[in-house]
């Protein structure tokens, strides 16, 4: 009987010891949607190196900052940035209140579903769309508008919610890094307040770890209640040279790992590479026309040209979506 | 012998169970430098309310965001903001390279230790000092300059490093909140890059949880190495109406607790109070001329006038430094 008791306590102790241990990487595969490839291996090697306390390459958890572009890196970006679908839907919804839009560009093009004309107005035209559809309301109101849209809007190719077009291998990667003590940040050219209402649920990234482009806001009292009103005025463009600026402003230290897919991410990868010690720079290369899209040097959306050259030249990791990913989306084969 | 073993395992299990438990508030006093007062009690009651899972006032850890002003709330701010001591020391150090400063205001006033004249130039004069002393170098260089200064500069009244002038009761409060699952942020009118090099060590607040005023930076390649160069151009003023704007931009959700000491913090407290559910708004009232400084409605630095009225009217917590704090600085009686 006493022996039995002893074994009981022994077992309990052992169980507790195991349940007590800090979450550490075991030998099981945290990246099951990744084929065994040099890309996968370079990621795993990097994580092992910076988390190994006995190694000179060890990095303390505080400094394990990983930054991720969003469009084309965490979710798809074709036929054009998903935020533009949102802006277009907003124009159509707001049109009854703006009869002049029927005859005024770029709104006319949107209302006539004439994408070719819309894009002919270039960045300036798109900016006008954003200002007309993203400003004028409070931040709380805008967050609700985004939530409503993301819950019901569907991607034209797959007829599925846009959030179904996040990459399963990247979700696994986010989780793998966090399980190894990394703080994961999104650093996107997309709107910061367009992302925050849904990225925590989808990517597990809290609002305070989302960096993006923004318009200005203004503090006001409305009926004794404080609000922030969104103004039709650019505050910050978090793209290209803006990405290191945004990282420095919001995070205040250099990342040790950076993930992007376009020339818009090049400076972020350069900034990350510029730090001392072990660094991981990764480009996601869109090579799978069948399961997703294939594009790089000549694409108008998500062009990867200079970045691909620099990655090859400097030995950065390039993920070949077609070869390296078993699955693109969680629901696809 | 078997009995002995049983007790051993029993003891081990009990120890492990206790060491396993998530860190929770026990009954010991986390705020030993606080006298028992209504202020201390309001803080403790709030923390108990939002961490009690069985209560309707429960707040999930993700949303336990607490924001703290810095100057006058976490450390002293007299005879003037400590960052101005830094700017003055920088002017004196850089003066040999700027012979024109001997005859040009506001630099002339600084070099002649003529504070009265310096302050007569108002905000514009101070801004000119900041631009001349805080810009023109890379972000890494500036961080090193701040680190060197904070390590050796001394406060004129106490002849001690400025970081000795942090409030011991507030350090305990930061720790108490973090032990209860709060994420603590600094939201200061001071320079974001003036604070980041030292606040992690002093307050336990990591760089990515520091929000402040900033100048613009520009990404550049220098000898193949990426740098961010600090430009003499205002990016953001994190004061008054700017504080809710900064909180929304950097954190992306509303705090549930806010701590300030001046009218510059009023909008931050209003913004915090404007959320739903249980909220804690606290003003630190400087009432102790002997151990620290006594000032409020008429002070040019850290004026607390409108804020004091609103706190009284709305029943916010007002901490009376003289009565409520046993100790001001860790080294003082």
B156-174: pLDDT as tens digits: 999 999 999 999 999 999 9
Label residue A19 exposed, middle or buried (CB < 10 Å: 0-12, 13-18, 19+): exposed
State the complex-level ipTM: 0.91
- What are the structure tokens assigned to A35, written together? 């084929």
Cβ of residue B19 closer than 8 Å to a chain A Cβ: yes
Give the per-residue pLDDT at A59: 98
| Alpha-carbon gap: A21 to the closest alpha carbon of chain B (Å) | 9
Give the per-residue pLDDT at A253: 95
Question: Quick count: other Cβ atoms within 10 Å of Cβ B60?
Answer: 9
Instruction: Name the residue among A205, A202, A206 with its Cα closest to residue A166.
Output: A202
Residue A330 has φ and ψ, to the nearest 5°, of: -60, -30
Mutate: best of B18, B22, B225, B226, partner A, most A CBs <10 A:
B226
Give the per-residue pLDDT at B273: 98
Interface of A with B in 27-46 (CB under 8 A): none
What whole-number distance in Å separates Cα of residue B35 and Cα of residue B323?
7
Residue B124: pLDDT band by 50, 70, 90 thresholds?
Answer: confident
Mutate: best of B139, B191, B249, partner A, most A CBs <10 A:
B249
Asked if residue B213 has pLDDT above 60, the reply is: yes
What whole-number distance in Å separates Cα of residue A302 and Cα of residue A84?
14
pTM of the predicted model as reported, rounded to 2 decimal places = 0.91
Asked if residue B28 has pLDDT above 80, the reply is: no
By C-alpha distance, the chain A residue nearest B15 is A13
Give the per-residue pLDDT at A20: 47
Q: Name the one residue in this structure whose structure tokens are 């990097």.
A: A46
Residues 6 or more apart whose CB falls under 8 angstroms from that of A38 comprise A317
Contact at CB, A208 and B3, closer than 8 angstroms: no
- What are the structure tokens assigned to A226, written together? 């404080």
- What are the structure tokens assigned to B99, written together? 């012979």
For the stretch B59-78, pLDDT in tens is: 999 999 999 999 999 999 99
Give the per-residue pLDDT at A23: 44
**Distant-in-sequence contacts of B127-130, Cβ < 8 A, 24+ apart:** B127/B234, B129/B84, B129/B87, B129/B88, B129/B91, B130/B87, B130/B191, B130/B215
Cβ of residue B97 closer than 8 Å to a chain A Cβ: no
Distance spanning both ends of chain B, measured CA to CA: 54
What whole-number distance in Å separates Cα of residue A302 and Cα of residue A91?
24
- What are the structure tokens assigned to B228, written together? 């961010």
- What are the structure tokens assigned to B57, written together? 């006032």
What whole-number distance in Å separates Cα of residue A255 and Cα of residue A322?
28
For the stretch B78-110, pLDDT in tens is: 999 999 999 999 999 999 999 999 999 999 999
Interface of A with B in 228-287 (CB under 8 A): 228, 235, 241-242, 244-245, 248-253, 267, 270-271, 273-274
| Alpha-carbon gap: A78 to the closest alpha carbon of chain B (Å) | 27
Residue B331 has φ and ψ, to the nearest 5°, of: -95, -5
For B263-293, letters b (16+ CB in 10 Å) and e give: bbbbbbbbbbbbbeebbbbbbbbbbbeeebb
Percent of chain B whose pLDDT exceeds 90: 88
Contact at CB, A208 and B245, closer than 8 angstroms: no
Residues 6 or more apart whose CB falls under 8 angstroms from that of A190 comprise A70, A71, A81, A83, A212, A213
Contact at CB, B270 and A226, closer than 8 angstroms: yes
Give the per-residue pLDDT at A2: 53
- What are the structure tokens assigned to A287, written together? 């090579």
Q: How many CB pairs under 8 A join A and B?
A: 120
Helices within chain B (DSSP H only)? 2-20, 38-51, 82-94, 107-111, 115-120, 122-134, 139-152, 168-179, 192-203, 242-250, 266-273, 306-314, 321-324
Q: Name the one residue in this structure whose structure tokens are 């023109």.
A: B136
Give the per-residue pLDDT at B21: 47
- Residues of chain A with pLDDT below 50 are 1, 20-25
Which residues in chain B are closer than 8 Å to A214, comparing Cβ atoms? 249
Average pLDDT, chain B: 93
Residue B239 has φ and ψ, to the nearest 5°, of: -145, 155
Give the per-residue pLDDT at B127: 86
What whole-number distance in Å separates Cα of residue A88 and Cα of residue A80?
12
Contact at CB, B241 and A248, closer than 8 angstroms: no
Most confident of A233-242, B2-11, B122-131: A233-242
Give the per-residue pLDDT at B312: 98
For the stretch B276-321, pLDDT in tens is: 999 999 999 999 999 999 999 999 999 999 999 999 999 999 999 9
- What are the structure tokens assigned to A65, written together? 């900052």
What whole-number distance in Å separates Cα of residue B150 and Cα of residue B199?
11
With H, G, I as helix, E, B as strand and everything else as coil, classify residue A58.
Answer: coil
Residues 6 or more apart whose CB falls under 8 angstroms from that of B3 comprise A2
What whole-number distance in Å separates Cα of residue B299 and Cα of residue B293?
11
By C-alpha distance, the chain B residue nearest A214 is B249
Any bridge partners for residue A260, and if so which? A283
Q: Name the one residue in this structure whose structure tokens are 């520091």.
A: B210
E runs forming strands in chain A: 65-68, 154-155, 160-161, 183-191, 210-222, 225-236, 257-260, 280-285, 317-320
Which residues in chain A are closer than 8 Å to B217, comparing Cβ atoms? 245, 248-249
Any bridge partners for residue A67, and if so which? A185, A258
- Closest partner residue to B139 among A10, A210, A248, by Cβ? A248
- A100 to each of A92, A95, A137, B323, how far by Cα in Å? 13, 9, 20, 64
| Alpha-carbon gap: B30 to the closest alpha carbon of chain A (Å) | 25
Q: Name the one residue in this structure whose structure tokens are 């798109």.
A: A126
Angle of CA points A234, B228, A207, to nearest 5°: 50
CB A296 within 8 A of CB A308: yes
Q: Name the one residue in this structure whose structure tokens are 């701040």.
A: B146
């Amino acid at each position: 009987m006493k022996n039995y008791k002893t074994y009981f306590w022994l077992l309990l102790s052992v169980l507790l010891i195991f349940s007590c241990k800090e979450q550490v990487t075991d030998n099981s595969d945290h990246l099951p949607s990744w084929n065994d490839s040099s890309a996968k291996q370079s990621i795993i090697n990097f994580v092992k190196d910076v988390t190994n306390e006995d190694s000179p390459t060890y990095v303390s958890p505080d400094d394990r900052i990983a930054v991720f572009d969003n469009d084309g890196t965490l979710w798809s970006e074709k036929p054009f940035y998903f935020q533009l679908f949102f802006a277009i839907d907003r124009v159509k919804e707001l049109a009854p209140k703006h009869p002049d839009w029927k005859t005024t560009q770029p709104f006319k093009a949107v209302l006539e579903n004439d994408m070719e004309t819309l894009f002919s107005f270039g960045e300036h035209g798109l900016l006008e769309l954003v200002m007309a559809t993203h400003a004028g309301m409070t931040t709380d109101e805008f967050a609700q508008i985004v939530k409503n849209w993301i819950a019901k809007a569907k991607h034209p190719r797959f007829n599925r919610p846009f959030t179904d077009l996040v990459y399963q291998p990247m979700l696994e990667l986010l989780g793998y890094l966090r399980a190894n003590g990394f703080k994961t940040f999104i650093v996107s050219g997309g709107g910061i307040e367009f992302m925050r209402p849904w990225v925590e649920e989808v990517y597990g990234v809290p609002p305070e770890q989302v960096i993006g482009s923004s318009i200005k806001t203004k503090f006001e009292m409305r009926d004794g209640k404080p609000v922030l009103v969104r103004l039709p005025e650019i505050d910050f463009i978090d793209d290209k040279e803006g990405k290191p600026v945004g990282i420095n402003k919001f995070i205040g230290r250099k990342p040790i790992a950076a993930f992007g897919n376009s020339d818009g991410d090049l400076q972020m990868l350069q900034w990350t590479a510029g730090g001392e010690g072990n660094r991981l720079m990764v480009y996601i290369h869109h090579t799978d026309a069948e399961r997703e899209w294939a594009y790089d040097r000549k694409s108008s959306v998500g062009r990867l040209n200079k970045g691909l050259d620099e990655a090859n030249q400097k030995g950065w990791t390039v993920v070949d979506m077609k070869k390296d990913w078993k699955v693109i989306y969680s629901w696809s084969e």
